[in-house]
Chain A
Amino acid sequence: MTAIRHHIPDDLLMGYAAGALPQAFDLVVATHVSLSDDARARLAGFEEVGGAVLSDLEECEIGEDSLQQTLAKIASMAPTPRAKPSKGVFPKPLRDIVGGDEDAVKWKSVGMGAKQAVLCSEDGVTARLLYIPAGQAMPQHGHNGMEMTLVLKGAFRDEDGVYARGDIEVANQDVDHQPIAEPGEDCICLIATDAKLRFQGLLPRIAQPFLGI
């Protein structure tokens, strides 16, 4: 576990615990929690609230042969194997959706050596991987909605400081920022956005439909 300096806000952890987030945000939260014991413990706290709500529910009627049917289901299911500690750059939830680790990503060039891969997209909520060469800037952009950025490899810097593996940045419409990859190592981030970003300047604005972000 690396020391994480930029943590995820409580409302996103509670949203994940309650099952209220869109898929793209669920993916970023599950990946971040895989890298941060602090987030894992805070999430577990919010899940205890769910456990208490469940316990206090009034029982409802279940089918007469429910138990027998469930035992039949059990017999037909394969046992769940114990998880193995993961190796590689991507934690399991990300590996599952990519279909492998870093080398399995189907990157598309977005110019200047930067690459991206869209992982899922529904109702304007998108998760994608972004690859920024060391020392290079992302276009400066603001947000119409919320953007979560989780660093998986390398690091980037913006007005709020340096973000390294496991660090998460949550930006809303008030933030206009220009992340720059730190020199030394290329940077890979997992990003979820819930609306189109607003880029500053004419050229990136033209590129925006092409970037699909």
Chain B
Amino acid sequence: MEKTEAHWVASIVSIAQQQDQKAFAEVFRHFAPRVKAFLIKSGADESLAEECMQDVMATLWHKAHMYDPSRASVATWVFTIARNRKIDLLRRYARPEPEELPWGPEQEPDQADVIALHQESTRLADAIRKLPPKQRDLIERAYFGDLTHSEIAAETGLPLGTIKSRIRLALERLRHAMS
């Protein structure tokens, strides 16, 4: 049965708080084959993709306490880890990443924000599936790293405005909690 986003979020929390190996095994079964497929589509060969996928999944375990479900879906968070690891390996330097915004134990993400983000990311995924094949293919190729920066057209025709404002609101609440 298809697991829900709420299920995956709970799994990551359980990994972070209880070092839950059973939850990790489930996350692994779902995401590891997709991460490996992403790496192969991005030009890695079989053995590099397997090695890199294991690095990504191990990083997921160790960074689970930093995951913020009000700012990214689980799949997106996994994607960013995979993308960064891919660049580290293929280009042989540590990719510059934005400074993390820390969650303290007293700064739990707002549940309404988590739900709102989930609705928006579902809507976005549906919109991608409904794109004409040519346009969808172009977006996929951009994210596999097949396009150079100058070939990327940020005008994707996707409903990104609302998801950005949702995340902006979640960030404002986080800033408020931190100050």
A11 to B150, CA, bound (A): 8
Number of A interface residues in the complex (CB < 8 A): 72
A9 to B25, CA, bound (A): 40
Q: Name the residue on A nearest B171 (C-beta).
A: A37
Q: Which residues of B contact A14 (CB under 8 A)?
A: 142, 152, 154, 156
Total contacts A-B at CB 8 Å: 223
Residue in A18, A59, A85 whose beta carbon sits within 8 Å of that of B102 in the complex: A85
A51 to B122, CA, bound (A): 11
A69 to B56, CA, bound (A): 12
On whether A13 and B98 interact (CB within 8 A), knowing A19-B83, A19-B87, A52-B128, the answer reads no
On whether A20 and B96 interact (CB within 8 A), knowing A54-B75, A55-B75, A77-B62, the answer reads no
A74 to B27, CA, bound (A): 15
Bits for A56-87, please: 1 = Cβ < 8 Å to B, else 0. 11111111001101110110011110111110
Q: Which residues of B contact A77 (CB under 8 A)?
A: 58, 62
Q: Is residue B21 within 8 Å, beta carbon to beta carbon, of the partner chain?
A: yes
Q: Is residue A207 within 8 Å, beta carbon to beta carbon, of the partner chain?
A: no
Extra contacts, 19 of them, besides A54-B34, A66-B53 (Cβ < 8 A), are A18-B147, A27-B96, A40-B171, A42-B164, A43-B98, A44-B71, A46-B160, A49-B139, A52-B128, A53-B128, A53-B143, A53-B144, A54-B35, A54-B76, A54-B78, A62-B50, A77-B62, A83-B102, A85-B178
